[in-house]
């Protein structure tokens, strides 16, 4: 997106490294007839609340695909920030530092968008931004109700027996699920944080962090081949419904 002479308030950064332990070339794997990363690029651009949408990648193929779908790739990510143990904070700080060095911009917020959340919509991005601005939040992070409530999580002890993961004795296995208090999990779709907070505190979760709650049906986080298969099934189902 060409911001012209305007100061961008929110910069969207799509993080997509070339390596993947679970699925080779995952970020450009075909999902619903498009490369996986294309779904995130299109949602970001169509939201019209991000003043600039860029992709941070170390991979030439990902960069080419990203440009084809409308995102900008103003720099290539250094190899040391594209390892299995590279943190998203370090990747975002690198993007901020690049902006400081190459553009006269100091955006208020940075939004991290992972390509592995293809079901996230433009409306989700819009709603997260609206929440941040209305609440003057330091950060807004997307969550969804967890499928596996901690009350019923268990582990296997050294002697091979089942014990309650949370240390309760006995476990809560006799409780009705509708009696459980609601518990949420990060779904990985949206991290919207003040630029200065990322620089000063190196966290997506400062004190004034608000949750943007997404439904489970849009919270799929693709990690392995099975997740890719599920995403394709969902996209195919959408296409069938749209033609009826």
Per-residue confidence band for 200, with pLDDT thresholds at 50, 70 and 90: very high
Mean pLDDT computed over 59-70 = 97
- The pTM of the full predicted model, rounded to 2 decimals, is 0.89
Stronger pLDDT, 242 or 200, i.e. the higher one: 200
Per-residue confidence band for 242, with pLDDT thresholds at 50, 70 and 90: low
Q: Write the CATH number of the domain with boundaries 10-142+185-242.
A: 3.90.550.10
Per-residue confidence band for 4, with pLDDT thresholds at 50, 70 and 90: very low
Q: How far is residue 238 from each of residues 23, 178, 243, measured CA to CA in Å? A: 24, 30, 9
Q: In degrees rounded to 5, what are phi and psi of residue 90? A: -65, -35
- Going from N- to C-terminal start, the domains of the chain cover 10-142+185-242, 147-182
pLDDT tens for each residue of 217-230: 999 999 999 999 99
pLDDT tens for each residue of 23-35: 778 999 999 999 9
CA dist 126 and 196 (Å) reads 21
pLDDT tens for each residue of 77-98: 998 998 888 899 999 999 999 9
Winning range, highest mean pLDDT, from 45-59, 98-112, 153-167, 222-236: 45-59
Indicate if the pLDDT at residue 243 is higher than 70.
no
- Contact between 40 and 114 under an 8 Å Cβ cutoff? The reply is yes
Alpha-carbon Rg for the chain, nearest whole angstrom, is: 20
């Amino acid at each position: 997106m060409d911001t012209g002479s305007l100061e961008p308030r929110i910069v969207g950064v799509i993080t997509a490294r070339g390596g993947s332990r679970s699925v080779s070339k995952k970020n450009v794997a075909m999902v619903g007839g498009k490369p996986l990363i294309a779904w995130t690029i299109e949602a970001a651009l169509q939201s019209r609340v991000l003043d600039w949408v860029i992709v941070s990648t170390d991979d030439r193929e990902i960069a080419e695909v990203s440009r084809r779908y409308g995102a900008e790739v103003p720099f290539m990510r250094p190899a040391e920030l594209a390892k299995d143990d590279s943190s998203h904070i370090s990747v975002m700080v690198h993007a901020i530092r690049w902006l400081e060095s190459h553009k006269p911009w100091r955006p208020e917020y940075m939004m991290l968008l992972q390509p592995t959340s293809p079901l996230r919509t433009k409306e989700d991005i819009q709603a997260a931004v609206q929440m941040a601005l209305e609440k003057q939040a330091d950060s807004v992070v997307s969550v969804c109700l967890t499928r596996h409530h901690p009350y019923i999580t268990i582990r296997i002890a050294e002697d091979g027996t089942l014990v309650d993961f949370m240390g309760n004795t006995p476990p809560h296995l006799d409780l009705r699920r509708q009696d459980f208090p609601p518990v949420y999990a990060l779904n990985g779709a949206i991290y919207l944080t003040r630029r200065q907070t990322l620089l000063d505190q190196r966290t997506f979760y400062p004190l004034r962090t608000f949750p943007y709650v997404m439904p489970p049906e849009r919270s799929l986080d693709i990690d392995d081949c099975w997740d890719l298969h599920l995403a394709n099934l969902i996209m195919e189902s959408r296409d069938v419904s749209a033609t009826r």
